[in-house]
Amino acid sequence: EAGVAQSPRYKIIEKRQSVAFWCNPISGHATLYWYQQILGQGPKLLIQFQNNGVVDDSQLPKDRFSAERLKGVDSTLKIQPAKLEDSAVYLCASSYIGVKYGNTIYFGEGSWLTVV
């Protein structure tokens, strides 16, 4: 089956500019996650969707970050305006709902953002 698709893979922007990342989860996966991974650190959850509703966005910097998942499938993560400290890899992941499917989540290859 196809994996989690993300685009763009790489983006370089100047501070105060805006950027958007797109994610298409594995077909049938109701839960979608956006993680931020700063170099040398583990991934940190930004936002979790279940279908098109937000389950957890407690660590999303809402003054500059926004995310949506229209129709419960694709998702977009936007940063506006970007700061230097936003330089990171933005990982999208997805999973089934329900214990019978196990607890595994599947990651995309990530979108690498450099803010200069």
Beta-carbon neighbour count of residue 63 at 10 Å?
8
Cβ 108 to another protein, closest distance in Å? 5
What letter would DSSP give residue 31?
E
In the complex, the residues that contact another protein under the rule CB under 8 A are 4, 31, 33, 40-45, 48, 55-56, 91, 93, 95, 99, 102-110
Cβ 38 to another protein, closest distance in Å? 10
Whichever of 17 and 37 has its CB closer to another protein, that residue is: 37
Looking at this protein, which amino acid is placed at residue 53? G
Beta-carbon neighbour count of residue 48 at 10 Å?
22
17 touches 81 (CB < 8 A): yes
Looking at this protein, which amino acid is placed at residue 67? A
Whichever of 1 and 80 has its CB closer to another protein, that residue is: 1
Whichever of 32 and 115 has its CB closer to another protein, that residue is: 32
Whichever of 42 and 53 has its CB closer to another protein, that residue is: 42
Task: Show the tokens assigned to 97.
Answer: 């709902």
Cβ 75 to another protein, closest distance in Å? 16
What residues contact 40, with CB distance under 8 A and at least 6 apart?
none
Cβ 76 to another protein, closest distance in Å? 18
